[in-house]
Structure 1
């Protein structure tokens, strides 16, 4: 495992970061969720170099998060569309948006608000729900090892158990 890769780490968070953890990837996905799909639009809006953008888009396509499609009207134009796997990242970006507004605010006021289209009301937040729909706090959740857990995972779980 190199310093720049989590590929060899047996952890779902590390494996998620391996696919979307590079900082440009998350803002590219933010823009994709806002409807942006063309390379030149991403490049112009983000001010990112074309080589870095091409690398990041390529990695997101490689991991099945974005789909690269030729335009139906002009084959020279390429669109990058969110896949089901990519759309599943929305709660992560929504949580980061809400966290950023609360814990890294702009002194002039909110930069973004998440509201329900049908009502215009703010979303209540992003959280972990129990099977019956109750919102759970971190101290109400226990992490247990699954069949794919390795020795490091078991050690991490033991640390949590010992400090509980």
Structure 2
């Protein structure tokens, strides 16, 4: 049995995947963060079929992650630009990049290194920080059900409490 939609699942992770979890969406966003903006550029670089690319771009636009902008030079040309909502996905892509280099490395060496432009130094990592700036590890964090939590979420939090 395959899950085709997380639309009815009351979970922030599931809802994030509903918007950006399709097979090609995150690599399209990776390319958008690298400055790619035109349909033909995405298609040529990714080797994705035009119909799949059109569907993925449409969904990213419908979800407010990308916006369509006509070119100033030629109104027939459309650019896909990251919105603020789309730009806020960067830490997720950065974390996936760092995770992939550590846990799914290329034997020939790093494929990508995240580097701070101002210093030229590699980015130390992506983490979760406390309100005072300390980096926290997963065992130092708990999850608390909020006002939008449903019965399944409350059950999951009970399991977490029992196994803590």
Name the TM-score class by shorter chain: over 0.9
TM norm structure 2: 0.98
Q: Which deviations, in whole Å up to 9, do the C-alpha atoms of 1:55-98 show, x marking residues without a partner?
A: 00000000000000110110111000000000000000000000
Structure 1 unmatched runs, 5+: none
Structure 2 unmatched runs, 5+: none
How far is 1:3 from its partner? Answer: 2.3
User: In 1, Cα distance between the equivalents of 2:78 and 2:133?
Assistant: 41
Say which SS state the counterpart of residue 24 (structure 2) adopts: helix
Q: Are positions 1:64 and 2:64 aligned together?
A: yes
Structure 1 segments, 4+ long, off by >3 Å, are none
Spell out the pairing of 1:115-154 with structure 2 (5 A cutoff).
115-154=115-154
Say which SS state the counterpart of residue 92 (structure 1) adopts: helix
User: In 2, Cα distance between the equivalents of 1:146 and 1:97?
Assistant: 30
User: What residue is the counterpart of 1:49 in the other structure?
Assistant: 49
Count of equivalent residues: 163
Q: CA RMSD in A?
A: 0.7
User: In 2, Cα distance between the equivalents of 1:100 and 1:124?
Assistant: 15
TM norm structure 1: 0.98
